Amino acid sequence: MMVNVGLAAVSAMNGNSDKALDIIEALAKNGAPAATLIEGDSAFESLSAQPRFVQALESMKQQAAPCKYHDKYPKYRELDFWVGDWDVYGKGGALSGHSQVELIIGDCVLNENWTDMTGGVGKSYNKYNQPSNAGNSIGWTSTVRLPITWGTWKAPTWCFSRTDLIRPESGRSCG
């Protein structure tokens, strides 16, 4: 990536705008996170108003931080309904615990902090995984059995697999 940014800079400084733009567009097409490098380099000033340049940089920015572009990448934001502070109730209506959920890491990851009514705590991290077109979750609790939970979100359902460190045969909770 750095070599190609350098080649594009030399091309732009030598007046070969088309070659520089071809290189920058190829970087964008391949998902290179080079927008900040290119924007901060005075070698590209001559290209800054050209539509091809502007479009390539915008594409790089969107690919580098898809969660910040809600309209273009809505799948990354399907779990936003979960953000906030929650009282969690069991099937019988009794309070089971409290959950605090916040967005972290460029608004791409949901961080859940859980406290149950006996003082047990847990944490989960949840995010959309573009290659599998599903949300993924991993969580831990402070209970004696130390369950680790893996989940997959395919709207509108979570499917959890649970692997206990003590009872690995616990298996999947759904197909």
For residues 44 and 89, membership in a common domain is answered with no
> Based on the domain organization, do 79 and 112 belong to the same domain?
yes
Same domain, 49 and 107: no
- Distance of alpha carbon 172 from alpha carbon 138, whole angstroms: 14
Determine, yes or no, domain membership for 91: yes
Q: Which of 54, 3, 67, 6 is nearest to 28 (CA)?
A: 54
Region of 106 please: left (phi>0), alpha (psi -120 to 50) or beta: left
- Kindly state whether residues 85 and 164 are assigned to the same domain: yes
Rounded CA-CA distance 105/85 in Å is 19
Q: Is the pLDDT of residue 62 over 80?
A: yes
Residues 26 and 96 in one domain: no
Domain coverage including residue 30: 2-64
Q: Report yes or no on 58 lying in a domain.
A: yes
* 42 and 88 inside one domain: no
**Tokens (6 digits) for 147:** 């369950």
Structure tokens, 33: 């996170």
Residue 161: is its pLDDT beyond 80?
A: no
Mean pLDDT over 20-29 rounds to 97
One domain for residues 165 and 122: yes
Residues 163 and 104 both lie in one domain = yes
Last residue of a domain, one of 11, 39, 64: 64
Q: What is the pLDDT of residue 173?
A: 43
Q: Is 160 among the domain residues?
A: yes
Cα-Cα-Cα-Cα dihedral sign, residues 53, 55, 59, 65: positive
Residues 122 and 53 in one domain: no
Same domain, 140 and 121: yes
Residue 171 has pLDDT above 70, yes or no: no
Say if residue 46 is in the same domain as residue 100: no
In a domain, residue 124? The reply is: yes
Residue where a domain stops, chosen among 13, 41, 64: 64
pLDDT band at 143 (very low <50, low <70, confident <90, very high): low
Q: What is the mean pLDDT of residues 59-85?
A: 89
Q: Does 69 map to a domain?
A: no
pLDDT of residue 141: 74
Residues 59 and 79 in one domain: no
Q: How many structural domains comprise the chain?
A: 2
pLDDT of residue 168: 38
